[in-house]
Amino acid sequence: MPVFGGNGSNGMEVHAIDGGAFQFSAVRPEDLGAAEYTLVTIVTDVTGSVSGFEKVLRDAVIDAVRACGKSPRADNLLVRFVTFNDKIKEVHGFKTLRQIDPQKDYKKFTCNGGTALYDAAKESISATNEYAKVLTQNDFDVNGIVFIITDGEDNMSKYNRADIANAIQQVKRDEGLESLLVILIGVNADACSQWLNEFYQEAGLSQYVDIRDFDATKGAKLAEFISKSASMQSKSLGTGGASQPLTF
């Protein structure tokens, strides 16, 4: 069960996962107004190699969250934003879109350090699963989608590909989520695209999107891809399965 360290002033509570190795925050179930929710997690690489296109990447995340707010399913989305280099940083936990001002909340990316990609993937899947169990116990219907955006190969994680695959299998065993999509997105990852594709296959992820020559135009397209994928996954709630992955 999660450890609750709630902050009454902002309506969020803190949960511990993986034996206390990680923590995440989320809005209290009693503060939610809908009967069903899709948990949307955006995980973004801010390692040293991202320097040079960090503004395009930040703009894409901001635009994606704004677009989610215009979705017909906006009131049924809870969004969490995480960045990682050799460490994982929760910019904010699972919140309603009304609680998020991405232009204000998503500060300029500071890019340095190594790539703890596996740790970020494992943490995000486990956090989604843990919060889904909390919501399910409170009679909400829940599914999830995780977007992992990176340009490089893991070189800092304590977890491995098998651990990611096991985390996904744990989601199925726990039955808190009706379905979960985990989408790996490679941006400007020419040198690592084969390695990322192998990670996608061996970890049992839902989709790998390889975006070459990442620029503002493709950043806008990425924002649209994220928002539409989140909306489609939310629309699939109640069907017993996940939405079909969209093409980029």
The pLDDT tens digits for 204-234 are 999 999 999 999 999 999 999 999 999 999 9
Query: What whole-number distance in Å separates Cα of residue 108 and Cα of residue 229?
Result: 25
pLDDT at 69: 96
**In contact, 13 and 28? CB cutoff 8 Å:** yes
Percent of the chain exceeding pLDDT 70 equals: 96
Q: Which residues contact 172 (CB under 8 A, 6 or more apart)?
A: none
**In contact, 227 and 71? CB cutoff 8 Å:** yes
Per the prediction, the chain carries an average pLDDT of: 94
Assigned architecture for domain 34-235: 3-Layer(aba) Sandwich (3.40)
How far CA 21 is from CA of 16, 119, 240, in Å, comes to 7, 10, 32
Mean pLDDT (whole number) for 132-161? 97
Q: Which residues contact 56 (CB under 8 A, 6 or more apart)?
A: 214, 215, 216, 219
Amino acid at 12: M
User: What band does 108 get if pLDDT is binned at 50, 70 and 90?
Assistant: very high
pLDDT at 7: 39
Mean pLDDT (whole number) for 147-168? 96
Residue 5 has pLDDT above 60, yes or no: no
Q: Which residues contact 107 (CB under 8 A, 6 or more apart)?
A: none
Residue 191 has pLDDT above 60, yes or no: yes
Mean pLDDT (whole number) for 92-106? 96
Q: Name which of 7-11, 134-138, 186-190 the model is least confident about.
A: 7-11
Residue 8 has pLDDT above 70, yes or no: no
User: What band does 147 get if pLDDT is binned at 50, 70 and 90?
Assistant: very high
pLDDT at 168: 98
pLDDT at 233: 98
pLDDT at 2: 30
Query: What whole-number distance in Å separates Cα of residue 56 and Cα of residue 199?
Result: 25
pLDDT at 9: 43
How far CA 202 is from CA of 5, 18, 107, 145, 168, in Å, comes to 35, 21, 34, 19, 12
**In contact, 53 and 214? CB cutoff 8 Å:** yes
Query: What whole-number distance in Å separates Cα of residue 185 and Cα of residue 223?
Result: 12
The ranges assigned to domains in the chain are: 34-235
pLDDT at 186: 97
User: What band does 238 get if pLDDT is binned at 50, 70 and 90?
Assistant: very high
Residue 167 has pLDDT above 70, yes or no: yes
Mind listing the pLDDT tens digit for each residue in 36-89? 999 999 999 999 999 999 999 999 999 999 999 999 999 999 999 999 999 999
